[in-house]
Structure 1
Amino acid sequence: MGQHPNGTMTSGGRTPEENWAVRRWIVNATDIVRITGEVWDRAPAAGNGVITRITLSGSPLYEHVINNGETARFAYSVEACIGPGNTIDFIVDPRNNDDQADDTGFTAVITSVLASGPQSQRICSSSDATFSVTVTGNGPYFFQWRRNGVNIPGAQSATLTLTDVDASDVGSYYCLIANNCGVISSGSAELTLCRADFNCDVFVNSQDFFDFLAAFFSAADSANFNGDEFINSQDFFDFLAAFFAGCA
């Protein structure tokens, strides 16, 4: 980055006129982000060291003083809750007023703590469905799953498992993720049923028809296709309607 970054010669008792933002990132979304990187003195035998800083809209997130002669690379990891219009600045300042020869390395990678969100699923009746989110960061994180905008009681981990799924479970699922500075939402995932896939082999074909007939004529519980507690011709007609409609 090369000598005094704001262009002010500070030897001779003068002090810097301003901080120098090595980079400025202007935020255009709401998120919880993790900022990682390293700072180091690229010319440890010269100058008198520097102060490296990261700020969020002027508020401090990180500071490290590199003294003259230090050769180590100092790793950092910080988290921040951001919103549209925020700025993240990466700043280098002289440690004292003789910094003409300072040369500083400063790297930064900004990533969302939400590494992946739930994926939409189409499953057959009475099977299980699992949604999950993956977060990477310092934590701790808190989770709350929602279906169609309503909190699901007890669903407060990174993974949501639904068992014996039926029509009442169909809907849009997403997860709220929080830490000590804010809350973000994952994307939505749709859960749909393919009732025509009677044998749950992922395909809708003649085998589903034959398997339904076998269940129907043996009065198996699975033949109660419409869930009205009776196994009769209406179940047969309802299955036929679903079978010929298929699954998009």
Structure 2
Amino acid sequence: MPKNVQKLKLSDPLFDKLKSFDGRLYSYVVAHDIGFAPNPYFGFCTLACCKPTIRKHAREGDWIVGLTSRENGTNRIVYFMRVDERLESFESYWKDPRFESKKRSTASDEAQLGDNIYKVDKRGNYTQVESKHSDGPRENTENKERDLKGKAILVGTTFTYFGENAVELPPELQPLVIGRGHRSHFDEEVRSDFVKFVCRIGIRGKCGNPAKYRVQLLTSTCTEKVAQRQLERKGCGGC
């Protein structure tokens, strides 16, 4: 269990959000947990790139669960987040001062993983800035098309991101397991079990680094630089 566990109290507003949960629950596999999609930094968990279908259809009040692929016969939970806010365009994401820190820069390790990567010109055309979805300084048209297809950016302030500390998916939540794509149709029992799970875990925020964090950082070692360049050419691989 991650350190700094924050137990929920009956007075916690999260309980009200969970009790009134009448939205949709989404589950999918985070194929490559590198800290880009989702991006759990600077107080917000954002899903701005990859998973265009989820981003297109998810609404405020919905919950999203990201799983690991099946490893050693076990699926684990990388993160879960409540969609507390839905931004309807990349233009609004780019211009919102709250998400300035989400723009990719070399200011910090976390900033290098920024997912606020599409700026709009006066004619309404988007430019993809250098990021995990570009080919170095050049745009990656395939990733760009897929990202823009999703249209919306999902923002969560109510989230738990385990990353490398991913926790085992409990038996009652096995219906969340998915291969490719996503699932979003669950019966009331599964939804109720999910609510109980969130209350039982009782933690929020970023509780660990991405599972593939180190290889994403620009370092002085030749091996990791090569791995970094390979990942940049392929994109984040989590779509």
Q: Does TM-score exceed 0.5, indicating one fold?
A: no
TM (norm. structure 2) is 0.20
> Which structure is higher in helix share?
2
TM (norm. structure 1) is 0.19
> Which structure is higher in strand share?
1
